[in-house]
Structure 1
Amino acid sequence: MASFADVAAAEPGFAERVRAAFDAHGHKFLATLRADGSPRISGIEMRFVAGEPWLAGMPGSVKFADLRRDPRFALHSGSDEPEAWRGDAKLSGRATEVVEEGERSRFAAAAGIPPQQMSFVLFRVDLDQVVLTALNDEKNALVISSWRPGRGLTRTTRT
């Protein structure tokens, strides 16, 4: 598992493009696993705080109950309409709930969340894959770039 800082250190240009794809949309799509093992897709307003992606939201959310039971997740950046499409990014890995007040307070301070609004649920993510899907410069082929810890960056082109 890795942090996003690990990705940025190994492949700064790739990490910058992935982050731009996530920053382009307020709403992202989080995939988790239900108790019966079936997939659940949920909207989430994930953003990077102090250079890392965090999952935060309202208490009682079923997506967070899913993550407590099975920490595996996939997160999709969202997409532009086809004529404006610049690429999609995906993160996958494991999420760990942050309950320690000091770490929660540091997150809140870095995110600009006032102390009186600390009722959110917070998960730190450890990454096992980061993917960017985009068009090549000529816009005639799909380029799938994938980074994994220990393997580095690979690219596949599909025409």
Structure 2
Amino acid sequence: MASFSQLEKEEPDFAARVKAAFDAHVHKILATLRTDGAPRVSGIETRFADGELWLAGMTGSVKFADLRRDPRMALHSGSDDPDTFAADAKLAGRAVEVTDRSELARFDGGTEVPEGEPSFELFRIELEQVVLTALSEAKDALVITSWRPGAGLRETRRE
């Protein structure tokens, strides 16, 4: 497992392209596992901050209940329509719930989190794999680049 800052340190150009793909769309697609093991797909907003990738949202969300029970997850950046497609990104890993009030406050811009239930839930992502799918410069092939902690980058072309 790795933080996004580890990816940025090891592969800064790749990390910048992945971040750009995620930042290109406000809504991303999160995949979690239901209690019966079936997949659940949900929309979510994400944020890169302090070298980490964060998931935050309303309290009581079923996607966050899924992650507390089984932290395995996948996240997709979303894609442009085919005629404007440049790249999209996917990642797999584990979501770690953040309940520390000072960390919640730091994420929320320094606002003190009042006593009682916080107004949002927060998870930090630990990366197992990151994949960027992009068009080649000649726009004649898909170039799929993947990274795993300790294994570096691997590239595949599909024409």
Q: TM-score surpassing 0.5? A: yes
Identity of aligned residues (%): 64
Contact 2:104–2:113, Cα closer than 8 Å, also in 1? no
Rounded Cα–Cα distance in structure 2 between residues aligned with 1:80 and 1:16: 18
Rounded Cα–Cα distance in structure 2 between residues aligned with 1:115 and 1:46: 21
The ranges of structure 1 where at least 4 consecutive aligned residues each deviate by more than 4 angstroms after the TM superposition are 114-118
Unaligned ranges ≥5, structure 2: none
Structure 2 residue 136 is the aligned partner of structure 1 residue 148 = no
Tell me the residue number matched to 2:92. Answer: 92
Which one is further off, 96-105 or 32-41? 96-105
Rounded Cα–Cα distance in structure 2 between residues aligned with 1:97 and 1:116: 16
How many equivalent residue pairs?
Answer: 156
Rounded Cα–Cα distance in structure 2 between residues aligned with 1:61 and 1:10: 34
Tell me the residue number matched to 1:77. Answer: 77
Rounded Cα–Cα distance in structure 2 between residues aligned with 1:52 and 1:156: 27
Unaligned ranges ≥5, structure 1: none
- Bigger proportion of residues as helix: 1
Tell me the residue number matched to 1:134. Answer: 134
How high is the TM-score relative to the length of structure 2?
0.94
Deviations 1:24-53 (A, max 9, x none): 000000000000000000000112123321
Shift of 1:102: 1.3
Rounded Cα–Cα distance in structure 2 between residues aligned with 1:91 and 1:47: 14
Rounded Cα–Cα distance in structure 2 between residues aligned with 1:130 and 1:10: 13
What is the alpha-carbon root mean square deviation over aligned residues?
1.4
Correspondences of 1:1-159 after superposition (within 5 Å): 1-109=1-109, 114-115=111-112, 119-159=119-159
Shift of 1:137: 0.5
Which one is further off, 122-131 or 43-52? 43-52
